[in-house]
Structure 1
Amino acid sequence: MDFSYSEKVQRLIQKLSVFMEEHIYPNEKVYEQQLNEQDTRWSAVPPIIEELKKKAKQEGLWNLFLPDAQYGAGLSNLEYAPLCEIMGRSPIAPEVFNCNAPDTGNMEVLARYGSEEQKKRWLLPLLNGEIRSCFSMTEPDVASSDATNIQASIVRNGDEYVISGKKWWSSGAGDPRCKVAIVMGKTNPDAPKHEQQSMIIVPLDTPGVKIERMLSVFGYDHAPHGHAEITYEHVRVPKENIIWAEGKGFAIAQGRLGPGRIHHCMRLIGAAERALELMCQRVKKRVAFGKTLAEQGVIQDWIAQSRIEIEQARLLTLKAAYMMDTVGNKAAKTEIAMIKVVAPNVALKVIDRAIQAFGAAGVSDDVPLAAQWASARTLRLADGPDEVHKAQIAKLELKKYD
């Protein structure tokens, strides 16, 4: 396996790193300040984000995630990995480069499975960063880690489909720019287990769509993006809004979640790298008991262990990316499952050590560590909990001995 970066990727790494230093890190606090100055944190998007998006477009740092050269940068998963990692160092960076979830996953679904009309109406505005989207799969009343449990109904009625059900953790639905949801539900409960579900496009201004509330994550509201609980009550959309075909929802979900999971892992490695960087800077300056924290044996152990764990997680993520590129997502499912367990847990450990090194400042919003920890902790659940991935890894391992 060759993990070396091409000249093209090296140039993008350099450009992206410079952009982060000049525009992203200095404006993290500006973003929060502008957000809090509004009448409500959900009413508008901080102006700085749109200013930065324009700069990113001008620099050619746009839609880097999409391997389809017709719509994106045409980078492989392995080529995108270091770029996504850099973006993961800041909570505002992915959106600036139009590489933020859940829009990335939704764009991939539309690019791969959408009709020409669906691409024209929804994919192109998303690619241009003109609108945002959400993904409605998880439900409050069932264990959604098993997607076949989903109970929301999608029923054909003449030239329309009628959608009914309750969803939550529809990330992005709070954003005033969010115009459309991709909804997963059952079209045929009597079909084979993995052919009962379908995905359908639902504009959020359709009658019957009601955002019940925005959910918090460890006290963070993640405004104006947010995570919504949404009721779909007899929502009618044209039959043309079905994606691919009836019964293909589970297959689409599996195709969507592979890249989505590895992108999360790439960003988590970036968050861990920044936490380690902040920790090292901090402990070289702080003095306790007559010497700098950096001279304390326990701190040195934290730093060494963090570097070891980050390198291990990165190498496993690069291996998964390489396999996705060379043998396909299905053949790489064990590696994808492994990194989805490893990356969040590594990030949590490294960020936690950095918080400890910062002391009380580490749990404040003066540094990004607390927010990064909260986000990393959710990713032990999002796109499948650790336990589901471990169960899959164990089953695949045991198969070798049949």
Structure 2
Amino acid sequence: MFAELSPHASALRDKLVAFMDEHVYPNEHALLKPPREAEKWSPRPLAMELMRKAKAAGLWNLFYNHGPEGQGLSNWEYSQLCEILGRSLAAPEIFNCNAPDVGNMEILSMYGTDAQKERWLKPLLTGEIRSCFAMTEPRVASSDATNIETDIRRDGDHYVVNGRKWWTTGANSERCKVAIVMGKSDRSAPKHKQQSMILVPMDAPGVTVERALSVYGYEHAPLGHGEVVFDNVRVPAENMLLGEGRGFEVAQGRLGPGRIHHCMRFIGLAERALEIMCERAKSRTAFGSSFAEMGAIRQAIGQSRCDIEQARLVTLKAAWTMDRLGNKAARNEIAVAKIVVPETAGKVIDRAIQVHGGAGLSQDFFLAEAFAETRFLRIGDGPDEVHREALARVELGKLN
């Protein structure tokens, strides 16, 4: 089976559990509470204070393994920690392990120039700024990224960017200082060589965050998901990532690890939902019986344990394969996890909501917002159908 955690990873895990118990769970309601309108997209003092404590405790950049700024954990090791911090929707930002910054830091580490790393990666690693990733567009089916219409056109020693993006996570935040934008730079090139990615400062003339998008009514401030317009935005040519026509190459380097991180976080959410489902079942009675004695609820609890264990195993296998064979070789395992985990977590959280009754739908518990997040992930990072189609092609190809 899987190897034991290294002493370093095991010590980090113990520290993370203690930090969550002492600082995150007690402050979770305040961290997730919608702020006043005037302060909606501003950094929250409480979150910033906890970030400083996490950094001082050595629980910072847990995902990062490219240099001394990180912890040097493998994908499999980080998966164990990611499940713990995923138990609270408020936690990833506290440890600088939040999307989309994690993926953007990976991109800059792997593909950025020294100048790009100095300007953008370094302050992201220290938590001074935030970033966003602008790929999805409202006017095309972005599940097929070759449909993307945003134009990135060379003009002397600059590129000019024109387009409209949405579901650009993090764009609303006052701390968001740079966007990685995917668009077409050569429409005459082969299908998967037309796209490029470029770094666009959010304060560049022509960049406008038009509105915040909500997920089932949750705006997720101060992070949020924005609809962003790029209107004749001029950026220096040196802001291009890796080179023209290499956008898909950059995207694949980013998405594999990010999908596994999402999966382990949502397994943590599902575990916590099962725990409070059990607590609720043991504390409530109806029609003369404890909920915990009712067959339907016991069935829901037992099935939830089966579902979580299966989801965790496929995710750990994906992380294990990535470490040994590389992200590309693990693409099928990653796709399986990406399909299985959000659906599984959604089922478990939905059962917990049902056991909680009306309370499960309210802001008094994390369940309603967690359910919205899991439903979002069945579309984010590629809809389930795209991953199933890719897996089907592999299976059918085995018969040739």
TM bucket normalised to smaller: over 0.9
| Matched residue SS, 1:188 | coil
Task: Name the amino acid aligned to 1:4.
Answer: E
SS in 2 for 1:40: helix
Which structure 2 residues correspond to residues 310-321 of structure 1 after superposition, within 5 A? 310-321=308-319
Q: Which residue of 2 aligns with 1:147?
A: 145
The letter of the residue matching 1:225 is: L
* SS of structure 2 residue aligned to 1:118: helix
Partner of 1:16: 16
Name segments (4+ residues, structure 1) moved above 4 Å: none
Residue identity matched to 2:84:
I
- Calculate the TM-score normalised by the size of structure 1: 0.98
1:203 aligns with 2:201: yes
Residues 1:102 and 1:349: Cα distance change in structure 2 (over 3 Å) = same
Tell me the alpha carbon deviations over residues 153-187 of structure 1, each in whole angstroms, 9 at most, x when there is no partner.
Answer: 10110000000000000000111100110000011
Residue 91 (1) aligns with residue 83 (2) = no
State how 1:167-246 maps to structure 2 within 5 Å.
167-246=165-244
1:4, 1:312 → 2: CA distance? Answer: 19
Distance (Å, rounded) in 2 between the aligned partners of 1:50 and 1:135: 22
SS of 2:260's partner is: helix
Equivalent AA in structure 2 for residue 14 of structure 1:
D
Counterpart for residue 337 of structure 2: 339
What is the DSSP-based 3-state SS (H/G/I as helix, E as strand, rest coil) of the residue aligned with 2:40?
coil
CA distance in 2, matches of 1:374, 1:320: 25
Structure 1, unpaired ranges of 5+: none
Which among 367, 370, 374 is matched to residue 368 of structure 2? Answer: 370
User: Where do 1:348-359 residues align within 5 Å?
Assistant: 348-359=346-357
Question: Is 1:3–1:318's contact at 8 Å kept on the other side of the alignment?
Answer: no
Aligned to 1:276: 274
How many Å apart are 1:3 and its aligned residue? 4.2
Q: How many residues align?
A: 400
The answer to whether the 8 A contact 2:32-2:90 is kept is no
In structure 1, distance between residues paired with 2:17 and 2:29: 19
Equivalent residue, structure 2, for 1:30: 30
Residue number in structure 2 paired with 1:128: 126
Instruction: After superposition, give the CA deviation of every residue in 1:364-399 in whole Å (9 maximum; x if it has no partner).
Output: 010000000000000000010010000001111111
Cα distance, 1:39 vs. partner?
4.5
Distance, in Å, in 1 between the alignment partners of 2:89 and 2:4 is 27
Decide whether the 8 Å contact of 2:41 with 2:221 is kept in 1: no
Q: Distance in 1 between matches of 2:32 and 2:159?
A: 41
Matches within 5 A, 1:21-100: 21-33=21-33, 35-36=34-35, 38-100=36-98
Q: Retained in 2: the 8 A contact 1:276–1:303?
A: yes
1:7 lines up with 2:4 in the alignment: no
Q: What aligned pairs does 1:285-304 form with structure 2 within 5 A after superposition? A: 285-304=283-302
Unaligned runs of 5+ in 2: none
Partner Cα separation in structure 2 for residue 39 and residue 259 of structure 1: 35
- Distance in 2, matches of 1:329 and 1:113, equals 15
Report the Cα offset of residue 43 of structure 1.
Answer: 4.3
Q: Distance in 2 between matches of 1:329 and 1:132?
A: 25
Give the distance between the partners of 1:250 and 1:291, measured in 2 at CA. Answer: 57
